[in-house]
Amino acid sequence: MPRDSDVQVVTANLLREGHVVWLAADGSWTRDLSRARTFDDKAAAEAALAEAARRTDLVVGCYLAPMRATPQGPEPVHFREAFRRAGPSARAAHPF
């Protein structure tokens, strides 16, 4: 079994909308982290990142984010990635 942060996902923002997206197993971009393709091999992750980063007509700012593999899918290791998935934590308290 890989250790806690040994899985990685490819993430980016959509060029047009700006939304946070992850690279899915079928090569599409998904807004649902649980559908993201996980890489436990560093070289494979780097290769997928390089390939994804070429899709500059679709996405900007591609990078690899460390995740913890769980039965429900990848879970963020770092709180920054948790906020990227969840959106602003302050919105719950927002009066609008």
Give the interface with another protein as residue ranges (CB under 8 A).
13, 15-20, 56-57, 60-61, 77-80, 83-84, 87-91, 93-96
Residue closer to another protein by CB (options 41, 76) is: 76
Q: Shortest approach of another protein to residue 54 CB, angstroms?
A: 11
Q: Shortest approach of another protein to residue 43 CB, angstroms?
A: 25
DSSP element (H, E) containing 63: strand 59-70
Q: Sheet containing 20-23: which strands, arranged edge to edge?
A: 29-30, 20-23, 7-14, 59-70, 73-76
List the Cα angle 42/33/53 in 5-degree steps: 50
Residue closer to another protein by CB (options 43, 93) is: 93
